[in-house]
Amino acid sequence: MKVFVSVDMEGVSGLTDPEEMRAGGRGYERGCELMTADANAAIRAAFDAGADRVVVTDAHGGGRNLRADLIDERCTLVRGPYKPMRMGEGLDSTFDVALYVGYHARAGAERGVLNHTWMGREIQNLYVNGEIAGEIRLMAGYAGSLGVPIGLVTGDEAACAEARDVLGAVPAVAVKRGLDRYAAELIPPARAQERIYETALRSLREERWPQLTMSAPYTLAVEWNATAIAQSCAVIPGVRLTGPRTTELTTDDYADVVGLLGVCATIAGEVGCTGRNYG
């Protein structure tokens, strides 16, 4: 069995403060340790379930958050900025299942801890084939386009609810309950990580994994928070303005959706000058 693990940070056990997600911020180093521990719980479950290969990608920010010296030595780690497929880098059609650890709810989600979509504030709403999408739908769609199902989602209660809305009966572990965007009632990390391990192990052994399948062509629509961002992104071939602050892309290859969104986000971070902050 070949398992792909994508690890974000906002949905990691024990974390609620934006400073804990930002290199140089108060609590960031401890946040990286907690992120790595949540990832290790899923990795350990994968190997205990019989996986012969586990590939892990650092899916948060610049992709330099997972502690390479603390990650389970049996896995392969993909890290670093500007990965072409960003949160999905390393995934291909040869994988049996994907696990999403530390994911969060989409922008505007009620009681979603650190809720946003892809960027801290530049993206107001994202739509894939007309359906409002956060990172869970976006990346589940990418996996589905490769024929890969989803075996686990972990994050806060809002993220788990979003995952069930997108994927149906997907195994999910809520490690915290949001009180507001920056506050939550937490399950202590040691107990949360044990739940991640137990749920992942059960899921990987049972192999009843849902898959998000969408039909091509794929249309990605983005509502940005500024006209300047939309106009700058519309310079990219294939991306067009559909309103003062909205852009749209249609393609037969879902990899274009993920890849060009990453390019647009890089542009948005420069134009908006707020790419490293939540607000």
Strands 53-58 and 2-7: parallel
Q: How many domains does the chain have?
A: 2
Q: Does residue 277 sit within a domain?
A: no
Give the pLDDT score at 103.
98
Q: Residues 116, 137, 176, 181: which is the catalytic one?
A: 116
Range of the domain at 114: 2-123+130-206
Q: Per-residue pLDDT for the chain (279 aa), expressed as one digit of tens each?
A: 999 999 999 999 999 999 999 999 999 999 999 999 999 999 999 999 999 999 999 999 999 999 999 999 999 999 999 999 999 999 999 999 999 999 999 999 999 999 999 998 899 999 999 999 999 999 999 999 999 999 999 999 999 999 999 999 999 999 999 999 999 999 999 999 999 999 999 999 999 999 999 999 999 999 999 999 999 999 999 999 999 999 999 999 999 999 999 999 999 999 975 444 433
**Statement to judge: residues 56 and 175 lie in one domain:** yes
**Statement to judge: residues 180 and 232 lie in one domain:** no
Using CA atoms, how far residue 153 sits from 11, 149, 222, 245, 258, in Å, is: 10, 12, 24, 32, 19
**Statement to judge: residues 183 and 237 lie in one domain:** no
**Statement to judge: residues 107 and 224 lie in one domain:** no
**Statement to judge: residues 147 and 197 lie in one domain:** yes
Give the pLDDT score at 34.
98
The position carrying tokens 């586990």 is 54
**Statement to judge: residues 198 and 254 lie in one domain:** no
Give the pLDDT score at 275.
42
Q: Show Cβ contacts of residue 137 under 8 Å, excluding neighbours closer than 6 positions.
A: 106, 128, 131, 162, 166, 212
**Statement to judge: residues 245 and 197 lie in one domain:** no
Is 60 noted as a catalytic residue in this protein? no
Sign of the CA dihedral 10, 139, 58, 203? positive
Give the pLDDT score at 120.
85
Q: Does residue 212 sit within a domain?
A: no
* Token pair for 259: 């890849």
Q: Does residue 279 sit within a domain?
A: no
- Of 164, 182, 206, the domain-final residue: 206
